[in-house]
């Protein structure tokens, strides 16, 4: 067992105290049962937050309470439990709208996650508005789920997917972006935070510039929402996508915000129950948005869990959370610098605490495996962002991604284990 008692470098000191309303990592850790398990004989260190976040007991209890007391289908039930479940589901929509600063709950469509949100936009808005010679600008740091749906619809509509290059430190090259924008640009897509480089691009400025050309802007918020507050109106986003499971909520639920005047004009995406007003073999009419976009029985318990997660996160002082994560990232950067042969990729000045690295002499899978033996969960591979890794001449890397419940002890455990791997070589 490595000695983790002595700090490797000076610990971050962030003077944020107490709850409710306040924040300390130690106090929020108490909300996460899984953080108290052991893995391979060691207390778990969960550093795979960019893949998925752990769930607080408030979310777990909301799911149990829903299934124990209120399980029902929604929107068409003529009984008490159906009304209760419908109210909870629609409260979830209102909470997500508030969370994103959206003007109305009707601006929010529930989907499976960011991937489905992007595909929905590609297949509905994209199919209607893209045509031969149109450009879709896609920064090189995007997740595959914000590249491939555009390639698919571009092929069908004979539009073009145009990559926007990165600078060496992993920022979106703003000069190149400005040069690529033109009257042909129909859509710009941007991650609000990169899952491999951590980069937080200047989305508001990029959006304003795109709008000058009449282009729409889709923002992928999958990695952003757990780390800092989002205001879709301030960003000017036309579309904003998120995944619940990266926001302390269950898997299989996510949300798409769309500016109301765009959403109201969007054709249905899937057909079925829930999305219609009336069905006749002569003529079928559709429900108003957002229900028009939600065919079939939705992920009701997922929405209840998402509601609990949003309530839980917004009960914290989010400025304090962001300050803490920044301080922890600085600490981690200093501590990782003490590991021989470790090279980080991505050094944008504005970024979230995603630490993607290579370790000389060891492939990333071996690194992840070694850390796992010490109870430390990181990810290794291409992180569904092959173009971003290719920008650094890599096919694979290891990634430690931090969340609000991680501590400098977690970072010390990571660094000590990595030093141990180098010492064993
Ligand atoms: N975008 C980004 C930036 C991501 O990190 C991820 C998940 N790794 C996604 C999109 C896709 O999210 P999901 O798999 O939840 O649909």
Ligand 1 contacts (CB < 6 A) are: 50, 113-115, 143, 145-146, 191, 195, 220, 222-223, 243, 245, 384
Q: Choosing from 229, 384, 396, 409, which is the catalytic residue?
A: 384
Where in the chain is CATH 3.90.1150.10?
Answer: 25-47+317-424
Query: Ligand 1 mean position to 114 CA, how many Å?
Result: 6
Report the nearest atom of ligand 1 relative to the CA of 384: 8
Atom of ligand 1 nearest to the CA of 51: 8
Distance CA 423, CA 411 (A): 18
Please tell me the residue having the least CA distance from ligand 1 atom 14: 115
Q: What is the DSSP letter of 109?
A: E
Run of H or E including 66: helix 57-69
Helix, strand, or coil here: 316?
Answer: coil
Which residue has a Cα nearest atom 12 of ligand 1? 114
Query: Where are any strands of DSSP class E within 140-247?
Result: 160-164, 185-191, 216-220, 239-243
Given this model, what pLDDT does residue 113 score? 98
Ligand 1 centroid to residue 52 C-alpha, Å: 9
- To the query of whether residue 3 is one of the catalytic residues in this protein, the response is no
Hey, which residues does 306 pair with through a beta bridge? none
Angle of helix 364-373 versus helix 408-424 axis, rounded to 10:
120
Q: How far is CA 330 from CA 14, 322, 327, 350, 389, in A?
A: 12, 12, 5, 12, 23
Ligand 1 mean position to 145 CA, how many Å?
7
Tell me how far apart the alpha carbons of residues 163 and 135 are, in angstroms, rounded to a whole number: 10
What pLDDT, on the 0 to 100 scale, is given for residue 78? Answer: 86
For the sheet with 379-381, list strands across it. Answer: 342-345, 354-359, 397-401, 379-381
CATH 3.40.640.10 fits 60-314, yes or no: yes
| Res 12: pLDDT | 54
Closest-CA residue, ligand 1 atom 5, reads 195
Site to probe by mutation for ligand 1, drawn from 223, 255, 302 as the one with most ligand atoms within 8 Å of Cβ, is: 223
Joined tokens for residue 312? 């839980």
DSSP symbols for 69-104:
HT----SS--SHHHHHHHHHHHHHHHHHHHHHT-S-
Q: How do the pLDDT tens digits run along the chain, 425 residues long? A: 333 344 455 555 443 444 555 799 999 999 999 999 999 999 999 999 999 999 999 999 999 999 999 999 998 778 999 999 999 999 999 999 999 999 999 999 999 999 999 999 999 999 999 999 999 999 999 999 999 999 999 999 999 999 999 999 999 999 999 999 999 999 999 999 999 999 999 999 999 999 999 999 999 999 999 999 999 999 999 999 999 999 999 999 999 999 999 999 999 999 999 999 999 999 999 999 999 999 999 999 999 999 999 999 999 999 999 999 999 999 999 999 999 999 999 999 999 999 999 999 999 999 999 999 999 999 999 999 999 999 999 999 999 999 999 999 999 999 999 999 999 97
Cα 99 to ligand 1 centroid, rounded to whole Å? 19
How much distance in Å is there from the Cα of 148 to the middle of ligand 1? 12
DSSP class of residue 351? B
How is residue 306 written in tokens?
Answer: 């998402």
Pairing verdict, β 135-139 and 160-164? parallel
Specify the domain boundaries for CATH 3.40.640.10 within the chain. Answer: 60-314
Under DSSP, the state recorded for 249 is S
- Alpha-carbon torsion (354, 356, 359, 360), positive or negative: negative
Q: Taking the chain, what is the end-to-end CA distance rounded to the nearest angstrom?
A: 18
**DSSP annotation string for 320-349:** HHHHHHHHHHHHHHHHHTTSTTEEEE---S
Tell how far CA 418 is from the center of its chain: 27
The phi and psi torsions of 146 (rounded to 5 degrees) equal -115, 15
Q: How many angstroms is it from 76 CA to the middle of ligand 1?
A: 32
Q: Tell me which of 111, 114, 242, 299 to substitute to probe ligand 1's pocket, judged by most ligand atoms within 8 Å of the beta carbon.
A: 114
Q: Which atom of ligand 1 is nearest to the CA of 195?
A: 5
pTM, rounded to two decimals? 0.96
pLDDT recorded at residue 75: 85
HSE-CB of 335 using CA atoms within 13 angstroms: 29
Neighbours of 177 (CB within 10 A): 21
Give the C-alpha separation, 100 to 116, whole Å.
Answer: 18
Question: What is the fold, at CATH topology level, of the domain defined by 25-47+317-424?
Answer: 3.90.1150
């Amino acid at each position: 067992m490595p000695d983790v008692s002595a700090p490797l470098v000076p610990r971050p000191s962030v003077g944020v105290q107490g709850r409710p309303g306040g924040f300390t990592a130690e106090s929020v850790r108490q909300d996460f049962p899984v953080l108290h398990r052991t893995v391979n004989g060691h207390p778990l260190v969960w550093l795979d937050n960019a893949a998925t976040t752990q769930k607080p007991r408030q979310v777990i209890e909301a799911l149990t309470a829903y299934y124990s007391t209120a399980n029902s289908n929604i929107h068409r039930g003529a009984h008490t439990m159906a009304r209760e479940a419908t109210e909870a589901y629609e409260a979830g929509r209102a909470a997500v709208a508030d969370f994103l600063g959206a003007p109305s709950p009707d601006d929010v469509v529930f989907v499976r996650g960011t991937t489905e949100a992007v595909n929905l936009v590609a297949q509905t808005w994209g199919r209607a508005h893209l045509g031969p010679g149109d450009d879709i600008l896609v920064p090189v740091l995007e997740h595959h789920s914000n590249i491939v749906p555009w390639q698919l619809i571009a092929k069908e509509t004979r539009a073009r997917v145009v990559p926007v290059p990165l600078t060496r430190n992993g920022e979106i090259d703003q000069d190149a972006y400005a040069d690529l924008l033109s009257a042909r640009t129909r859509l710009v897509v941007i991650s609000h935070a990169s899952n491999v480089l951590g980069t937080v691009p200047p989305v508001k400025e990029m959006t304003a510039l795109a709008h000058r050309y009449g282009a729409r802007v889709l923002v992928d918020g999958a990695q952003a929402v757990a780390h800092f507050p989002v205001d879709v109106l301030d960003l000017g986003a036309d579309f904003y996508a998120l995944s619940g499971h990266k926001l302390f909520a269950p898997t299989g639920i996510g949300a798409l915000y769309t500016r109301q005047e765009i959403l109201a004009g969007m054709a249905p995406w899937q057909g079925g129950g829930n999305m219609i007003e009336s069905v006749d073999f002569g003529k079928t009419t559709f429900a108003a948005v957002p229900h028009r976009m939600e065919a079939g029985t939705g992920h009701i318990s997922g929405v209840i869990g998402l509601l609990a997660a949003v309530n839980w996160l917004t009960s914290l002082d989010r400025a304090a959370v962001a300050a803490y994560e920044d301080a922890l990232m600085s600490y981690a950067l200093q501590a990782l610098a003490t590991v021989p042969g470790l090279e980080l990729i991505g050094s944008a000045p504005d970024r979230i605490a995603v630490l993607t690295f290579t370790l000389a002499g060891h492939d990333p899978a071996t690194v992840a495996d070694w850390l796992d033996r010490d109870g430390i969960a990181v990810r290794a591979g291409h992180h569904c962002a092959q173009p971003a890794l290719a920008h650094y001449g890599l096919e694979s890397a290891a990634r430690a991604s931090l969340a609000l419940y991680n501590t400098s002890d977690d970072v010390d455990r990571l660094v000590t284990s990595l030093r141990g791997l180098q010492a064993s070589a």
